[in-house]
Amino acid sequence: MLGVLEQLGYDLDGPLASAGVQRSDLEDSDEYVSPSVCALVFARVRQQRRVPNLALQLALRTPIGTNPLLDYVIVSSDSVGQGLQRLARYLRLVNPAIRVAIDDAHDPAVVVVDSGGDAFGAELTISLSVVRFMRETDDRLNAAYVTFVHDPDDVSEYARVMRCPIRAGATANAWALSHEALRLPLRRRDPALRRWLERQAADMLARLPPGTNVKDEVRRALATQVTAGDIGIEAVARRLATTPRTLQRHLAQSGTSFDALRDDARRQAAEVYLADATLSIGEIAYLLGYSEPGALHRAFKRWHGTTPQAFRQRAITGR
């Protein structure tokens, strides 16, 4: 999305610097940039006010796969309705500050976006949803209407792109679609791929905390990186646009430490991987960043008072 912003003529150097983000962070697919840092970058960008309806322009120009796991678990679903259910379930992997709820008790069904007062976040979520489902149904989907609590820059452009009435000053940010539209098939539906992706998404979601304070930001960074990257405090602090010393101070004020949170992230990941009989104990130790299997054995004894092998046996047999 930041690449799209540059295509639209926005200067990113100032916003990135103010958020403590380096361009190399954005180019590394294994890097984690916290939601609060992303929000700060977009807030600084919007102050430039170059393009009306910026959220809509981003939705029109941002390709599927920008957020690979979330995007593909949605578009590999069988139908629009199933894709919306997965959007509501897994959106927190990308933006924990926004919630999506689907009310299909009546026709048309209503997709409500709770952005916590963030008008841009609401516009972006609705724009991405409507535009992408239109494209993934080969342009067969038509929204019944879209509502915004605030006044978008140009309501007429939203109406033209989304081909439906747009109501500003409403009581909720939402969009509606018929039950017939909910049943429309998605062109990239792939049950096998979707099941595999959903297992990954569900596993990651289970390890994410519900809140958004500094302790939870660190937990989120560790949960997404514990088996895929550097989980040292220097790397995590950089991803959260702070320094190790400042991060440790904030964590101490929250009653915990970085080492304790990292230990807990490793414990949760170890429990998940031990339930998979295809991974050896040595491979799991390597995935969790331990120098040798003995370190994992010692940690597991401390966590559970037993060995990884014994824990795996109980997990697999249910005894």
Q: Evaluate if residue 209 carries a pLDDT over 70.
A: no
How far is 258 from 248, CA to CA, in rounded Å?
7
Q: Where among 189, 218, 237 does a domain terminate?
A: 189
In a domain, 308, yes or no: yes
Q: Evaluate if residue 211 carries a pLDDT over 60.
A: no
Place of tokens 């964590």: 251
In a domain, 194, yes or no: no
Quote the mean pLDDT of the chain.
87
What digits encode the pLDDT tens for the residues 21-46? 777 777 776 666 777 777 778 888 88
Helix (H, G, I), strand (E, B) or coil at 92: helix
Positive or negative torsion for Cα 196, 127, 133, 41: negative
How far is 285 from 193, CA to CA, in rounded Å?
28
Higher pLDDT, 197 or 217: 197
CATH assignment of the domain containing 245: 1.10.10.60
Q: Evaluate if residue 16 carries a pLDDT over 70.
A: yes
Q: How far apart are the first and last CA of the chain?
A: 48
- Cβ atoms 185, 79 nearer than 8 A: yes
Question: 253: pLDDT confidence band, cut at 50, 70 and 90?
Answer: confident
In a domain, 202, yes or no: no
How far is 14 from 118, CA to CA, in rounded Å?
22
- Sheet containing strand 166-167, edge to edge, reads 99-103, 109-114, 173-177, 145-147, 166-167
Q: Evaluate if residue 158 carries a pLDDT over 70.
A: yes
Question: Which range among 56-65, 199-208, 210-219, 260-269 has the greatest average pLDDT?
Answer: 56-65
In a domain, 196, yes or no: no
Higher pLDDT, 299 or 291: 299
Bridge partner residues of 174 (DSSP): 112, 147
Task: Give me the number of domains the chain comprises.
Answer: 3
